[in-house]
Amino acid sequence: EVQLLESGGGLVQPGGSLRLSCAASGFTFRTHTMIWVRQAPGKGLEWVSSINAAGDDTYYGDSLKGRFTISRDNSKNTLYLQVNSLTVEDTARYYCTRRASLREFDYWGQGTLVIVSS
């Protein structure tokens, strides 16, 4: 059974940093592009970042202004998102998801909640 389990969220002050993790199991992690998607409270889905299977090709949403860094450790079946210089607008649930063969997102984690507040 495919499972994606995010962690690392929490309450952080504006300007702070967090490292989000997504532990994958039940599939061959090293063969899949992985994605982070976020959802602000009461709002829609926002694509954040992607990383290819090898980990050497990354993309970011236009609004992130270089503050986020996606990475992966295929030996640990884990995806990461380093988030820096956080603002209140970054308050959201951050989901880890797997990209499948037709570029759809076929499995999602339960998300980890990041709250940016003073």
Partner 1 sequence: IVLTQSPDFQSVAPKEKVTITCRASQSIGTTLHWYQQKTDQSPKLLIKYASQSISGVPSRFSGSGSGSEFTLTINSLEFEDAATYYCHQSSRLPDSFGQGTKLEI
Q: How far is the CB of 45 from partner 1 (least distance, A)?
A: 4
| Distance, CA of 26 to CA of 3 (rounded, Å) | 6
Q: Report how many residues bind partner 1 under the rule CB under 8 A.
A: 23
| Distance, CA of 109 to CA of 95 (rounded, Å) | 6
SS3 for the chain is CCEEEEECCEEECCCCCEEEEEEEECCCHHHCCEEEEEECCCCCEEEEEEECCCCCCEEECHHHCCCEEEEEECCCCEEEEEECCCCHHHCEEEEEEEECCCCCEEEECCCEEEEECC
**Looking at 7, 21, 30, 46, which residue binds partner 1 (CB under 8 A)?**
46
- Determine, following the binding rule CB under 8 A, whether residue 9 of this chain makes contact with partner 1: no
Where does this chain touch partner 1 (CB under 8 A) — which range of 18-26, 66-74, 76-84, 95-103? 95-103
- Determine, following the binding rule CB under 8 A, whether residue 113 of this chain makes contact with partner 1: no
Q: How far is the CB of 118 from partner 1 (least distance, A)?
A: 27
41 vs 75, beta carbon nearer partner 1: 41
- Determine, following the binding rule CB under 8 A, whether residue 55 of this chain makes contact with partner 1: no
Binding site for partner 1 (CB under 8 A): 35, 37, 44-47, 50, 59-62, 95, 99-100, 102-106, 108-111
